[in-house]
Amino acid sequence: MYRFDLSKTIYILAAILVSTALFASEHDVEDIIAKQDELYRSGNSYSKMEMHMVTPHWERTLELEVWSKGMDMTFILINSPKKEKGMATLRVENEMWNYLPKTDKIMKIPPSMMMSSWMGSDFTNDDLVKESSLKEDYRYKIIDPEEAREDLIYVELIPKEETASVWGRIVISVRESDYLPVDERFFDEKGELMRIIDFKEITMLGGREIPTVMELIPLNKEGNKTVMRYSEAKFDIVLDDEVFTLRNLRKKR
């Protein structure tokens, strides 16, 4: 007859808790989140990239240049195709503007539109200019999901009460070896998975190993996806503050 051994059960549970605590202590969640925030923009940075948008009805590709200064300033310039050439986006701290060269007008983007589509892509304004910070705007912890890979670490992020976000939570998976992102999963407030960003093709650019391809798939838009591909990146460079001004935004190019 089987006899329940309470002491053995307590020992097993204690061992599980200790091993979980040891795992968490080996991997500092603060370091993981900081790496995600700074991955493409530590210090001053410059990059060239291609954004390819796909829908069931059309496809188009934008060629972009991006300048950033820390976490507070971003300038994005569209160089191609001809129809969008010269369009630009500027963020300085909590303010953001778009420039439309055909009408020579600067449009200020209100905070309520930060989660809106950027230039018709599946990425939002916030995705591109990084107005929000994972470290500052979310609560986070390492989790152990049921279907987990042994070589990955999973971090769950919940927006703080004062954070303007359409997401109920975000789950980021990173490589255990170097904290480089593998994917990000975004859930709405009801817990439904709404979109996935996959990070691919890890390459050395600008002296830093980074995923050079980000593929965003919105699960509520069948047949849609947006792929961003970095072709050039420079980090910790000298940038003039003039880059991040309204004057530069409407500069003729």
Q: Is residue 181 part of a domain?
A: yes
Q: Is residue 234 part of a domain?
A: yes
pLDDT of 14 over the 60 cut: no
Q: Is residue 16 part of a domain?
A: no
CA 201/CA 188 separation, integer angstroms: 28
Residue 141 structural domain: 28-249
Q: Is residue 12 part of a domain?
A: no
Q: Is residue 19 part of a domain?
A: no
pLDDT tens digits for range 143-155: 999 888 999 999 9
| b/e map 168-181, b = 16+ CB within 10 Å | ebbbbbbeeeebeb
User: In the chain, how many domains are there?
Assistant: 1
Alpha helix segments (H runs only) across the chain: 6-26, 29-38, 125-129, 134-137, 246-249
Confidence label for 15 from pLDDT (cuts 50, 70 and 90): very low
Q: Which of 198, 202, 248 is nearest to 219 (CA)?
A: 198
Angle CA 116–229–46, to nearest 5? 85
Angle CA 92–95–96, to nearest 5? 85
Q: Is residue 227 part of a domain?
A: yes
- The radius of gyration computed from the CA coordinates of the chain, to the nearest angstrom, equals 21
Token code pair at residue 225: 């996806």
Taking residue 83's Cβ as centre, other Cβ atoms within 10 Å add up to 10
Q: Is residue 7 part of a domain?
A: no
pLDDT (0 to 100) of residue 111: 85
Q: Is residue 47 part of a domain?
A: yes
Confidence label for 115 from pLDDT (cuts 50, 70 and 90): confident
pLDDT (0 to 100) of residue 3: 52
pLDDT tens digits for range 188-226: 999 999 999 999 999 999 999 999 999 999 999 999 999
pLDDT tens digits for range 24-50: 446 899 999 999 998 987 689 999 999
**N residues, the chain:** 253
pTM: 0.85
Residue 154 sits in a domain of what CATH number?
2.50.20.10
pLDDT (0 to 100) of residue 128: 85
pLDDT (0 to 100) of residue 146: 86
